[in-house]
Structure 1
């Protein structure tokens, strides 16, 4: 019986073989891999109105859940060799690639169901140009290193929105181990998005109502504090958010003095007081407006209906959590002007 010849070691370690192996272990960082990942996440998380309704019905049938609008989405990934820096851990610049992927899952889920109808409505109102979702800023804090090829989760969810910006919170998490080790936060990030139809700003509330995630605004909530109506829109189903934009927009207008945090917090406190009064009139359950941790969000949802008032209270709470961090945008702009 003829013996089977073993290929020489030199042929196994040829440059072609090594190149293929190198590409496989760094597949995430290859050219066009980012585009492929985003397209994949978009199509696998494509929501329709029917899927939105199923999500809402599933939440309403559960006695211990959070409204789907605030539910987090997650991706799991690893950091290949090409993402490491000279300290042999994940480079700070590569965190934004993972954030793009995680936020794509979230924004596809929340905005796609109303995209077609929303575009038609805006066209009928005379707004021209492409409909686009634009990233306004990203702030990231690094808490613990991510080692090469370590598996981690990127979890994102809506924190809040005002009459212009959608605020997204994201967390890089080391999953809990089988040996009883709890989840560990590796990094945290805050992002904000704006929806544009040409040069026209589409309010987030309008987007969420059109997509089916938000109920109609009750008539008794029209007496909330007045707002600057620039770049907002009204429809027969909803009004825009009723407070001025609490999130700084440094690229617009002149370099005005930043709004003190105490003043902004007072504005949100006034809005919360109005909402609590309206909720009491309708018999709806009120949510505390204090700066509670984000983790108990699911626990607070148990046993109470997520009506418009409850969703609005959680939105205001999210603005309170995010506003001081986001105010750094305008303060940094002023620091540049002073210099």
Structure 2
């Protein structure tokens, strides 16, 4: 994602479109279509084309297209403009990504293979991070001008911006059948002094609808900006039938400038989605080049008493919601110590086998 946002995207898209346009004008598309659907062997050719179309999601390099489409949508064509007046209330809202499970993605039980959930997570995480944090990401990319992160001398810290995935965990509840459509609801769960945690639920399509959509423009080339649009959902209760949830996953991201770890709250505040807080939120002031500690901070519960009927997302309510998410993230972060269980050469191995059968 970081490499993609550093590229000159508009010149690349213009050049690619020009090359494809010129190439298409020199190719007889009509003749190719006729040769495909007529003549000897037409049924095999038609069957092959239909098979590819039905499994387009798993065609080589299509994963790259899906990721780039998510990044370009939010970072180039429809840059988010949530604004500080609506930003805090949007911080924990989900982005919904739709997909389905083609034949090539299924295992021998004709269910979506467990490994393919993780490639889907790459796509939906790209949507939530770019849609919500695009202003903060842009500020980090141009840190010399934005002066978002300063070194010990008060000068803008120089370094390449990057975002890295630390780990992913997925809990499977129910199978997704062949060609069954589903939705991925991804949102910010919480953050600590180093990581941003993203939670994703795989949900049966059409079972649950949001109360409303904050992002009104759902096209690439439509009007920019966010507006409140009435949703078409019928279910208003927070309680959702567990049979509608196929799986739940949690991922954690860290943002870097060079080798310096950027505190998540710095990016969140630069994206105008944090409310005013007495004393301010976290800053990057301090010794240059030192990463923020990978710890889960304790929050004084007496400082986060929230009126349950209040609709205002002030700093107390943000802190309370973040603390609730940290209770899950703390268990997830504890799994980082699992590598200490690797026995290595301390004990014999049961066996060593090649991946295939005949080689």
Alignment counterpart, residue 327 of structure 2, candidates 302, 320, 324? 320
Conserved 8 A contact 1:42-1:108 = yes
Alignment counterpart, residue 159 of structure 2, candidates 126, 129, 141? 129
Find out whether 1:333 has 2:342 as its counterpart. no
Conserved 8 A contact 1:138-1:191 = yes
Whole-Å separation in 2 of the counterparts to 1:272 and 1:40: 42
Find out whether 1:100 has 2:99 as its counterpart. no
Whole-Å separation in 1 of the counterparts to 2:54 and 2:301: 55
Whole-Å separation in 1 of the counterparts to 2:330 and 2:105: 32
Name the SS for the 1:172 alignment partner.
Answer: strand
Find out whether 1:233 has 2:284 as its counterpart. yes
Find out whether 1:164 has 2:171 as its counterpart. no
Find out whether 1:246 has 2:295 as its counterpart. yes
Relative to its length, the structure with more helix (as a share) is 1
Whole-Å separation in 2 of the counterparts to 1:200 and 1:91: 37
String of CA shifts for 1:91-130, please: whole Å, max 9, x gaps: 1111011111111000001221122323322478353331
Alignment counterpart, residue 31 of structure 1, candidates 31, 56, 60? 60
Alignment counterpart, residue 245 of structure 2, candidates 159, 178, 185? 185
Conserved 8 A contact 1:144-1:185 = yes
Name the SS for the 1:70 alignment partner.
Answer: coil
Alignment counterpart, residue 177 of structure 2, candidates 147, 150, 157? 147
Superposed displacement of residue 57, structure 1: 3.8
Alignment counterpart, residue 174 of structure 1, candidates 204, 214, 239? 204
Superposed displacement of residue 88, structure 1: 1.4
Find out whether 1:272 has 2:305 as its counterpart. no
Conserved 8 A contact 2:96-2:185 = yes
Alignment counterpart, residue 45 of structure 1, candidates 74, 92, 101? 74
Whole-Å separation in 2 of the counterparts to 1:274 and 1:220: 18
Seen in structure 2, the aligned counterparts of structure 1 residues 337 and 67 have a Cα distance that, compared at 3 Å, is: farther
Whole-Å separation in 2 of the counterparts to 1:50 and 1:92: 33
Structure 1, unmatched stretches of 5+, are 1-6, 60-65, 223-231, 248-266, 277-284, 288-299
Superposed displacement of residue 234, structure 1: 3.0
Name the SS for the 2:115 alignment partner.
Answer: helix
Conserved 8 A contact 2:194-2:295 = no
Structure 2, unmatched stretches of 5+, are 1-36, 209-234, 347-359
Seen in structure 2, the aligned counterparts of structure 1 residues 188 and 335 have a Cα distance that, compared at 3 Å, is: same
Alignment counterpart, residue 19 of structure 1, candidates 36, 40, 48? 48
Whole-Å separation in 2 of the counterparts to 1:336 and 1:194: 25
Find out whether 1:213 has 2:273 as its counterpart. yes
Give the stretch that moved more between structures: 212-221 or 102-111. 212-221
Whole-Å separation in 2 of the counterparts to 1:32 and 1:208: 32
Aligned alpha-carbon RMSD (Å): 3.3
Taking structure 2 as the reference length, the TM-score comes to 0.66
**What is the correspondence of 1:54-93 to structure 2 with a 5 Å cutoff?**
57=85, 67-93=89-115
Conserved 8 A contact 1:169-1:191 = yes
Conserved 8 A contact 2:74-2:134 = no
